[in-house]
Structure 1
Amino acid sequence: MKILLFLFLKLCGALVLVGLTVWGIFALQFQVSDLALRFALMLLWVGLALLGLYAIFLGTAWFALPYLVGSLVLGVWWNSIEPSNGRRWAPEVERVSYGQVQGTIVTMHNVRDFVWRSENDFDERWQTRQYDLERLSSVDMFLSYWMGPSIAHTLVSFGFSDGQQVVFSVEIRKEENEAFSAIGGFFKQFEMTLIAAQESDIIRTRTNIRGEDVYMYSVALSKPAMQALFLSYVQQGNDLHGHPRFYNTLTANCTTIVYDMVSRIVGGLVWDWRVLASGYLPEYVYALGALAPGYSLEAIQRLGHVNERALGQREGEDFSRVIRRDVPVVSR
C-alpha cells in the first residue's frame, strides 16, 4: 500500500512538473520576441524539466535543484511583465475611449467613427461626443460570430431619444501587424482596451468588411439599470486610459467584463457557462426573460440577423435605422 501511495505521489509530482513546463514553453513563446533567444531558452527549460523528472522517478533530489531555480527565475520574470499604454498600436485601437460625467451629461472622448472600405483601407475619425443619460432609451446586445457557433464577440449599444447610438466594445489592443491569438490571450500577449464607436463603424465593419455573422438583441433593463451600465462602461474606459490592463481569454474578455458590470447592477444574476461560451449567450439572456417577449428565441435570432440589411444599406440611409428593421424590441 505504501509503495502504491509513493508511486501515486511521484506521478502527481511528474504531472505538475509537466504542466508547469508546458506553461513555461507558452510563456516564452508569446513573450520572447527574438527567435534565437526564444529557442535557446525553451531548450534550456525542457532540459531542466528532464532533470526534474529524473529526480522524481529516481529519487536523486539534487537533480531537481536546477529545475526549482529555473522555476523561480521564470516566475520572477513573468511577474515583472507589466501592461503598457505606450506601444505602437494598430490604428483602430490607437486610442482608449474615456469620459467625464457632469450631472446627467457624459462627455466621451475618442469615440471612433471610421469609414471602412476594407480591413486595410479606411478613413480615421475620432470624435468627442456628449450623451444625456436622461435621454437614454434602449440597450441592445450585438453578437458577432467570427470563430464557429461557440465563440462570439459581444458589443453593447446604447440608444438615446435624440437619435444617437453609441456602441461599447471591450477588445484586445493589438499592436501594429499583430494578430489575435486565443492562446496568446492567456499569456499577457495583449493589453485590453475599451472602444466607444458609432454603429456605422464598429458593426458595419463586421458585417460588410469582415463577413462575420452579426445578431442584434433588444435587452430589457430599467432606465436606472441602463444608466448604471453606461456609467460602468465609462468607468472601465477611464480605468484603462489611466491604468493599462492585460486582456485574458478566459477571465477578462469582451463578455466576462460585461457580465461583471451587469451582475453588480442587477441583483441575483447567476453565473452560467454560456458567459464563457459567448456564442450561446442569447440562450442565457432569453432564459432570464430579458429579451423581447412574445417571440421564440429562434424567431428573435432570425429577425435579429442584421447582415442582409447592413449589406443592403443605400447611400444616405441611416445605418442604425436600417439594421433595426423588423428586429423584435422590448417595451420601455
Structure 2
Amino acid sequence: MNRLLVSYLAYSVSLPKFNGHTTVRIQPPSRHESIERACLGRLGWPGRGLIVLLACLAGCQSGPPGTALQTTGSQTAVFQPMSLQLDPTLANPSSHPLLAPLTPSNDRNWKTVQARLARAEFKGDHVTVRDIRNFRHLADDQHEIDYYDKKFDLDAIRSVDFVVVPFAGAPNMAHTMLSFGFEGGEHVVLSVEARYEQDETYNPVLGLMNQYELIYVLGDERDLIQLRTNVWLNDVYIYPAKATPPQVRELFVDVLRRANQLAERPEFYNTLTNNCTTNIVDHINRLVPNRVPLDQRILLNGQSDRLAYELGLLDADRSFEETKAAARINYLAYLYRDSADFSTLIRR
C-alpha cells in the first residue's frame, strides 16, 4: 500500500485506559495536507530539512494543521496494537481524483490575475504578442481587468533589465523578472510564476509536489511593477543588463517561444528546479552556454542580483552596494503611478 493511499485513510485508534478503551476518530486530511504527508515521507530527513529551510527563508506558512488528536481519560504508558479501518468514502481508492497520476493542465479555475496565457505569433522581423496583461490593481484581490495585443518590431528592441523583488522579512528569497525595452520607451515584462487556482496560495512544500502549474505572464510595467510596489509593498530593484540589441532580441524571442510552448504543453512549477529564476538562467544559458554557472544564489535568489553583478551581466560601473541603492525604484513607482511615461520616469 503506497504512502499516498495510507495518508488518505481514516482510521480508529484504540488507546487503553485503566478501565477500558477509548476510540479516537481521525478525519481524512485535506487535499494539500495529504499530498504533503505522503511526499514528505519519500523525501527523508535531508529533504525535509531543506524544505524547512526554504519555508523559513521565504517566510511562508502552510495552511492550518489537520484535526488534532484528542483523548479523554487517563492513558497507560504501554500501548496496545492499534486497529486500522478504511473510511467508507475511500472504499474504491482508484476512483479518488488525488490517487490518479498528476498531469499538468491549462484548464482549471485560475485566479483572475493568471487566467490567460500570453501567446506570440511570429512573422518575419515582427511578432504579435496576444494577451499582454495590463491590470490596475486596487487591492490584492481587486483589479481593473485589461489585456491587449501588441505588434512589435524585433529590430526596435533595445534593452533588457533584471528585476529583483525580495520577499518581505526574508531577503535571501525573491521573485525575479525580465523587462524588455523598445524604441520609444515601451517595456514588456516577463514574470515566471506558479499558477494558482482560485482556492490556492503559495506553499514551498507543495511547490515540490506538482501542485502548481507554471505560467509565463507577459505584462505592462505599470501592472507587474506597481502590483509589487504599491499593493504588496515589496522593494523592487531594476538593474539594466549588459547586452547588445541583437542579444536582447534573441533572448526575447526565446522567451516568447517558451511561452508558446507552455500554452501548448503545460508544465508543473517546481520550487527548486522550475521557478522564476531557474527559467531566466535557462534562457541565458541556451543563448550562451554556461554563462551562468551553478551557484547557490540561483536558489537563494534574493542574492541573484549580486551573482549577476559578479558575472558581469549588469551594466554597472560602481560597487554592488551603490548599484543596488540606485536600482530601487519604489518611490518613483508611487510618484509616477498614473503617468503614461511610467517606464521612462522610474528609470531616471
TM bin (shorter chain):
0.7 to 0.9
User: Distance in 1 between the 2:260 and 2:283 partners?
Assistant: 15
Cross-structure match for 2:182: 160
User: Distance in 2 between the 1:39 and 1:140 partners?
Assistant: 41
Q: 2:299 aligns with which of 249, 258, 276?
A: 276
User: Distance in 2 between the 1:160 and 1:120 partners?
Assistant: 31
Cross-structure match for 2:334: 311
TM-score when normalising by structure 2: 0.72
Cross-structure match for 2:155: 134
What is the one-letter code of the residue matched to 1:113? N
Q: CA deviation at 1:122?
A: 1.2
Greater mean deviation of Cα atoms: 91-100 or 142-151: 142-151
What is the one-letter code of the residue matched to 2:148? Q
Q: CA deviation at 1:163?
A: 2.5
Cross-structure match for 2:136: 115
RMSD (CA atoms): 2.7
User: Distance in 2 between the 1:124 and 1:279 partners?
Assistant: 30
Q: CA deviation at 1:292?
A: 2.4
Q: CA deviation at 1:39?
A: 7.1
Answer yes or no: is the 8 Å Cα contact 1:225–1:266 preserved in 2.
no
2:334 aligned with 1:296 = no
Residues 294, 28 of structure 1: alpha-carbon distance in 2 compared, 3 angstrom cutoff: farther
Cross-structure match for 1:55: none
Q: CA deviation at 1:314?
A: 5.9
User: Distance in 2 between the 1:277 and 1:79 partners?
Assistant: 33
Answer yes or no: is the 8 Å Cα contact 2:185–2:343 preserved in 1.
no
Q: Once the two structures are superposed, what CA deviation does each residue of 1:194-217 show, in whole Å capped at 9, x if it has no partner?
A: 110000000111000000111110
User: Distance in 2 between the 1:79 and 1:98 partners?
Assistant: 30
User: Distance in 1 between the 2:236 and 2:6 partners?
Assistant: 32
Cross-structure match for 1:180: 202
Answer yes or no: is the 8 Å Cα contact 1:139–1:159 preserved in 2.
yes
Answer yes or no: is the 8 Å Cα contact 1:26–1:187 preserved in 2.
no
Answer yes or no: is the 8 Å Cα contact 2:159–2:244 preserved in 1.
no
Give the structure with the higher percent helix.
Answer: 1
User: Distance in 2 between the 1:301 and 1:121 partners?
Assistant: 32
Q: Once the two structures are superposed, what CA deviation does each residue of 1:194-252 show, in whole Å capped at 9, x if it has no partner?
A: 11000000011100000011111000112222111101111111011111110000000
Cross-structure match for 1:82: 103
Cross-structure match for 2:85: none
Cross-structure match for 1:238: 260
Give the structure with the higher percent strand.
Answer: 2
Q: CA deviation at 1:306?
A: 0.7
Identity value in percent: 31
Cross-structure match for 2:347: 324
Answer yes or no: is the 8 Å Cα contact 2:158–2:244 preserved in 1.
no
User: Distance in 1 between the 2:241 and 2:139 partners?
Assistant: 31
Instruction: Tell me the secondary structure at the aligned position of residue 151 of structure 1.
Output: strand
TM-score when normalising by structure 1: 0.75
* Number of residues of Structure 1 aligned to a counterpart in Structure 2: 269
User: Distance in 2 between the 1:314 and 1:246 partners?
Assistant: 34
Instruction: Tell me the secondary structure at the aligned position of residue 211 of structure 2.
Output: coil
Cross-structure match for 1:195: 217
Unaligned runs of 5+ in 2: 10-25, 42-93
What is the one-letter code of the residue matched to 1:293? A
Q: Once the two structures are superposed, what CA deviation does each residue of 1:117-143 show, in whole Å capped at 9, x if it has no partner?
A: 111221100111111110110100111
User: Distance in 2 between the 1:202 and 1:166 partners?
Assistant: 10
Runs of 4+ in structure 1 off by over 4 angstroms are: 24-29, 39-42
Instruction: Tell me the secondary structure at the aligned position of residue 103 of structure 2.
Output: coil
Q: CA deviation at 1:78?
A: 6.7
